[in-house]
Each structure stands twice: as C-alpha cells, then as structure tokens.
Amino acid sequence: MDDTTNLNILKEHVLHVAAEHHLWSSHDIIVVAVSGGADSVALLHILYNISKTHTPLKLICAHVHHGFRKESDAEVELVRSLAEQMDIPFELTYANIPAYMEESGKGAQEASRDKRYDFLLQVASNYGARSIALAHHADDQAETVMMRLLRGSGPSGLTGMKYKRFEGNVELIRPFLRIYKTDLLQVCHQSGYPYATDNTNFQNKYTRNAIRLDVLPFLGQYNGQIAQSLNHLAEIMASEDEYMEQAAENAYHKLVQRSDGRLAFKVPSFLGLHAALQRRMIKLILNYLSAGSENTDFDTIEMVRRRIVQHDSTTWSLDLGGGLACIREYDMITVMPKQTDQTICYTYRLDAAVLELRMNEIGKVLRMTEQSPEEEYWEDTVEAGQQAVFDANELEFPLTLRPRLPGDTMKVMGLNGSKKVKDIFIDAKIPPSLRSRIPIVVDGSGNIVWIPGLRRSVHAKIDDHTLTVLHMAFFNDGSFG
C-alpha cells in the first residue's frame, strides 16, 4: 500500500464521520488546534487535503506555547512553518501556565487546558469560525472512558468525548475519534510529515498518562482489544444515553411544573416512571436549578429518589446542598432554593374597586370590573376558582388582601357556621409552603369574603335585589395583555 493510499483511506474515514455527525459544511471557517504532535499535524494535513479536493473550508492554524518545556520554541516554528506551507493563517499565544497555576491553584494539565481553550475560543471569535477542530483520537477516547469508569461515572460519563459539542457559540469537533494513534503515526511517517514529540507524555505522574502507560497495558493482558472494547462501550453508551436523555426530557416537560423558581411534580406520576427515568428526571431538575454544579452526583440523586418512593411519610424536607432544598407536601414534590422562612408577607388595601392590582410577591394580578346583574362576564383565561362575583353595594370597603393569619375563620357559603381557614387549606391539600401565596380577601368589617381557588363566603352574595355586580378575577402575572 503506497503513501497516497494510506492518506486517502484516512481522509475517506474522516469524511464519513463528518457526514455522519454533520461536523462541517462547505465554506465553514474552522480553527484547527495544532500542538505540533503527530495527531494534530495529521489533522491539519487531512483537513487541508479535504478543503482542496472535496469540501471548500477555510482553516486557521492555532498553537499555544505553554511555557513549560525548552522544546516549546522549536514546536512553535514547526507549526508556523506548516501553516506557511499551506498558506493558511497562523495564530499563536504565549501562555504563562506556571503563573496561572499559582493564581488559580489548579494543576498543570487543568491549567493548560483552561488557557488553551480560552485562546482557541478567542481565535474562533476573531475569525467568526463555526468550529474548533481537535485531534483527540480513539486511544484518547479509551483513556477517557477508563478514567471515568475508575471515577465511578454513570452512563453519561461512559459516553466519553463527543464528536461535537458546543462551547459557547462554537462547536468543538473531533474528526479522529474512531482512528487509532498507530494509524496517525503511520500516515505521518509514510507521508513525511514532521512532528514533535512531547516527552512529558511518557511521565506517569499524571492520571491520564498513568492510564495510558500502566493501566491499559496491564488490562491488555486479559483483553488484547481493550482500547477497542472501551471505544465500543463509548459508542453504545452514547446512543443509549441520547435516547434516555430524550425520554427524561419528555417526562420532565410532561410532569414538572415551574413557578417562581420552583420545580414541582406529583408523586403518583413520578412513581409511574422506571427507576432509570426517575433518576434522570431528578438530575435534570437539579441541573436546571443549580446550573449543573454540585448537586448532580449519584448519592444526592438516589437520596431524593428513594425518599420519594418510600411511603413512610407525607411531609418531609431534604437539604440538597448548594442552596437547594427538596420538600414533600402531601402528594407534591418541590425542589427550590432553600429558604429560612417560607412565609411571604404582603398587604394591599383597596378603598374602592380598581381595574388592576399587581401583587408581585405572589406573581398574581387582580382584575375588578363592575357590571349589571344581566351581564355574563366570565374570563375563559382564568384558572378554575380564580374568579368570583359580589354584590357591589353590599361588599364593605376597604378591602384588604393578605396571607392567612393564625386563627382566621370564614363563613363559608353552603355551610352552617364558620370554618378555620387552616382547615380549608388542609382539606384542599394545599402544601404549607404555598399557603402564603394564596391571598385572603377581607372586607372592611374584617370578614374573610373570598379565598381564590378555594372558597367564597356568605357575605355580599348576589340575589334578586342586586343592582351592581363586582366581578373579581386573579391571573398569573403576565398571562393577559
């Protein structure tokens, strides 16, 4: 097999992967991260060849001088020369990694990665590039999967690196993820592509290097195709993880309600999900509320899931860390920012009927309209129970709107005598954390005349002698124009 044949085989493989995963389109601007090693040198050559013979692409060669090794200066010139031969733009940055390590407290590899990606994203922004091409290959993928396996990652972690993912507005693409290092080295040797060798890659003080140099060769004694097996695992898990993520998103949108920064769902509907979907839905909720930070570990997710599926209590609260809490009230689970006091305080006094009153504390709008008894005025857009009518001449002003107070009682229409408002809330299974969000409407004599969504009192009821009707309706803020 001649040199050109090997290069063409590699190119056709990359083209197949690019088409399968939609890595680029004609005339895309692509920043190619070139360290000077065999992998990135091969990547630049392959993409350059594709841009000239198959798909027009504008390539930008980007290199980072990390300031660690004496060979770095020579690597800069090697990559610069390569870009000049191809007549493509060359972008270089000198990163003071030791200084950044001291400033950030990060290790050498993490610090180098931060600065490298910052630079690549800046270059992409400067050129208006759609994507950044990285030379990660199949051996890198195997190492990544093994590292995550040892770390105890779940299915999502075992998918390894993705062929493409967004970093801000730019796609990171990896055309070589199915190609092994030996194939890249062979093409470089046979085609005469000069490349640099980073000797730190042979020091096992770094975890990834130790996986490459010690762990995988050891496991290779028991499975001579260990790298291929790990890559197959990544491929399988990527497809199944994508399917499960979509199922979890569907369950989330079907079952979860969002209100005032809280995410809530009903226990019976949650119990109808498979345990795998239960875990994923909890993870989605925690990610949405905490930007995917410290609350997505398995132990936290499983603690919440197990507590929900247990039948020992109808009311409990869990501190999830990261400023989040999970509470169960009757058959409702709510995940929300942790609060020291769940009671919301507000008081509104109305000396006369008003067209509109915004109650920002509870996200409600009260709308009041006077009309004749003959008119039928009912808002189709109002939630059930969120509107009521009163005899305008019998309703005593000023009206006061406030949360429930201890000892509140109400003369409920249809019942003899009075009933405690607390018992009305309990009978309706209103979660304690939501009770202060339901306004109590009190007349000028201190009588509770209406609890929206729950009960209306005997006061100022409509009868044959009513001349003017006062229609009151509550809307969620912003639900009408």
Mean pLDDT by 10 residues, the chain (481 residues): 70 96 96 96 97 96 84 91 97 87 83 91 96 97 95 90 93 96 94 88 83 94 96 95 96 91 92 96 91 66 92 79 86 82 80 92 91 77 81 94 92 89 91 87 95 93 92 77 37
Known binding residue 37? Answer is: yes
Do the Cβ atoms of 438 and 366 come closer than 8 Å?
Answer: no
Known binding residue 276? Answer is: no
Known binding residue 453? Answer is: no
106: exposed, middle or buried (Cβ count in 10 Å: 0-12, 13-18, 19+): middle
Per residue in 373-408, is it b (16+ CB within 10 Å) or e — as a string? Answer: eeeeeeeeebeeebbbbbbbebbeeebbbbbbeeeb
Known binding residue 293? Answer is: no
Q: Which CATH number fits domain 256-337: 3.30.465.60, 3.90.950.10, 3.30.559.10, 1.50.10.10?
A: 3.30.465.60
Provide the pLDDT for residue 330.
Answer: 83
Do the Cβ atoms of 68 and 108 come closer than 8 Å?
Answer: yes
Provide the pLDDT for residue 233.
Answer: 96
229 contacts: CB under 8 Å, gap ≥ 6: 223
Q: Which residues pair with 266 in a beta bridge?
A: 332
81 contacts: CB under 8 Å, gap ≥ 6: none
Q: Which CATH number fits domain 3-234: 3.20.20.70, 3.30.870.10, 3.90.550.10, 3.40.50.620?
A: 3.40.50.620
What ranges do the domains of the chain cover?
3-234, 256-337, 348-476
296 by DSSP, 3-state: which?
coil
For CA atoms 269, 272, 275, 277, the dihedral sign is negative
Do the Cβ atoms of 76 and 30 come closer than 8 Å?
Answer: no
Provide the pLDDT for residue 143.
Answer: 96
- Read out DSSP for 212-235? IIIIHHHHTTT-TTHHHHHHHHHH
Question: pTM surpassing 0.75?
Answer: no
466 contacts: CB under 8 Å, gap ≥ 6: 373, 391, 393, 394
